[in-house]
Amino acid sequence: MPSLSWSTTPHWRNYHHTQDRLQVETAALVPGPGPSDAISALRKTAELLGAVLAHAAQKRAPVNVLGSAWSFSDITKGPGGLAQTTLAQHVWRVDPADLGAAAVNRDRMVLVHAGTTIHELNAFLEPSLSLATSGAHDGQTVGGMLGTGVHGSALSYGGFQNHVRGVHIVTGPGESWWIERGPVPWLAAASARTLANHVVLEADLFDATLVHLGGLGIVNAVLLEAVPGFVVDLVRVKHPLTPAAIGQLQAGDYAGFAREVWPPSRDTPYYIEVILDPFHPYAGYRGDAHNAMVTLFYKREPNRAVARLATLPDVPHEPTHEPLNLLGRALAAQPEQDLLLPLPQAVAWLVAQEFKTEPAPGVAPRQLTWGGANGPHVRQKILGWEIELYNAAYAIERAHLTTTLKTMLDAFHTHGGGHQVFTLRFVTKAAGLMAFTRFDDTVVINMDGLRTLNSADAARCVALALERDGIPFSQHWGKQGVITSTRVMRDFGMPTDSRSRAGRWRAARYRLLSPEMRGVLCSDALTAWGLA
């Protein structure tokens, strides 16, 4: 049976080394032979997670729950212990007898341990099924992605949390909840009651759990609805991006934009990602073309041989196209004599060195599964030292894209600019009360680059300029922007207002957790954001 392994970690760092802690008590879920059916297995891991919360309550110390610890922000930072979930990874096809009336596509339903990585989930689903979207990195866990509201750039889809139909969350020793939106159940009532001692079908409670911020309990499992398996044609182009092309993105004319940057395009892409050089032109966004690197995915019916090839364990997945990975690889490939910290203007040039255009003229695009096209982030080193990366992300309304870019670029240059590129991704109707992609049509503008004082200062100036110009925006909960309680209240309302997003989320926290457990499940970030 699964068990808990307790240890003291002498020196803990998160994935991106933005947090350091010494002598941290750690509880890790360790897999072992156990029940083969999902409900029994998840009951056991819920019992173990409840024991972690009981131990923390006895010590009167908080506990922070970890997936892959990818987040840059303080969302997993605090003075207490750590609970590590990534050793327990499992995905189950759901027995039709365990499904309720809402599960029309019964062959697409899977129950997933929250510690399961997206890599493992893709490997389980493909090629017959697929995720509709995910982040640009496949090492994050399912529970961690719900923690901060991870998005992709699928043009007609929300964040990863939009796949979720039910959440099993542990809120104390012997206490767990099965939560769905309702009113019709996705998981059969008898199965839900076997799994959890509280079964609730309520929209507000469900929407709160979809972006839980680590403050509602420990997510044990989720019920996901996948989509039919598909592949994507992969196109990558370098193209000067004109104001007219940015206007097409703002208007949602994605087919026209695709033809502008890749003339062979004949239909609307499924996915668009745009990397901009913020130093081209230097004098802000005043009508000149930007140097840009554009990735397009076109959704296709699967060629079964190709789809299967992309998921074989001995075939490497496509290296992720995210700028942070491109920058790390470019720096690691530089000759040792050129390893001085580059000027801010050099970062886009370095990213462009690793951005490989394809296909060649007259050649059909490569086809990959979703998992094959969104491969792992790989840490890169220079002379044995890991490259430290910076990432801030701002969600804005797509209707304001042109004016927002001008404001951001002008602010970026205020003190000389950061070691960063700008990356545009697109999200539609993301689920979750606290989704930072809160607009119906959202553009996420990332500032991706090296962790320097220049980068942090540029991101700070950008946020202040957006506020000065009255442009609505929100910041990614898991990244390095400066999130304050004032900004949370501006974006999500007063936590004391039962009608606001923040108020409804906090009401869920108070309903799910006893006062004792609210003290246990509390990070430095939740306190600073005014949500604890």
Give residue-wise pLDDT tens across range 82-115. Answer: 898 887 789 999 999 999 999 999 999 999 999 9
Nearest to 145 by CA among 112, 194, 110: 112
Angle between helix axes 501-512 and 203-210 (nearest 10 degrees) is 100
Residue 441, pLDDT above cutoff 70: yes
Asked if the peptide bond before residue 33 counts as cis, ω within 30 degrees of 0, the response is no
Give the number of other CB atoms < 10 A from CB of residue 301.
10
Residue 268, pLDDT above cutoff 90: yes
List beta partners, residue 396.
Answer: 443, 473
Confidence of residue 314 (pLDDT cuts 50, 70, 90): very low
The span from the CA of 35 to the CA of 40, in Å, is 6
Confidence of residue 304 (pLDDT cuts 50, 70, 90): low
Q: Alpha-carbon dihedral of residues 493, 494, 500, 505, nearest 10 degrees?
A: 110
pLDDT of residue 154: 96
Q: Alpha-carbon dihedral of residues 469, 471, 476, 479, nearest 10 degrees?
A: -20
The span from the CA of 394 to the CA of 432, in Å, is 17
The span from the CA of 318 to the CA of 302, in Å, is 17
The span from the CA of 380 to the CA of 492, in Å, is 37
Q: Alpha-carbon dihedral of residues 133, 139, 144, 145, nearest 10 degrees?
A: -10
Bin 357: left if φ > 0, else alpha if -120 < ψ < 50, else beta.
beta
Mean pLDDT on 164-169: 98
Which segments of 31-120 are extended strands (E)? 63-66, 81-84, 91-93, 109-113
- Average pLDDT of the residues of the chain: 90
- The full set of domains in the chain, from first to last, is 3-228+510-528 (3.30.465.10), 231-483 (3.30.70.2520)
Confidence of residue 379 (pLDDT cuts 50, 70, 90): confident
- Residue count (the chain): 532
Q: Please give the radius of gyration of the chain, using alpha carbons only, rounded to the nearest integer.
A: 23
Residues 6+ apart with CB under 8 A from 52: 4, 27, 63, 83, 218
pLDDT of residue 286: 56
The span from the CA of 336 to the CA of 352, in Å, is 20
Residues 6+ apart with CB under 8 A from 263: none
End-to-end CA distance of the chain, in Å? 35
Which DSSP letter does residue 317 get? P
Mean pLDDT lowest for which of 133-147, 271-285, 458-472? Answer: 271-285
Backbone angles phi, psi at 509, to 5 degrees: -60, -45
pLDDT of residue 113: 94
The span from the CA of 259 to the CA of 246, in Å, is 13
For the entire predicted model, the pTM comes to 0.93
Helix, strand, coil % (nearest 5) of the chain?
A: 35, 25, 40
DSSP, residue by residue, 36-77: SSHHHHHHHHHHHHHHHHHHHHHHT--EEEESS----SSTT-
The span from the CA of 51 to the CA of 414, in Å, is 51
Structure tokens given for 292: 């840009």
Nearest to 25 by CA among 1, 46, 5: 5
The span from the CA of 93 to the CA of 252, in Å, is 37
Q: Which amino acid is at 456?
A: A
Q: Are strands 20-30 and 81-84 parallel, antiparallel or unpaired?
A: parallel
Residue 127, pLDDT above cutoff 50: yes
Run of H or E including 130: strand 129-130
Residue 308, pLDDT above cutoff 50: no
More confidently predicted of 459 and 321: 459
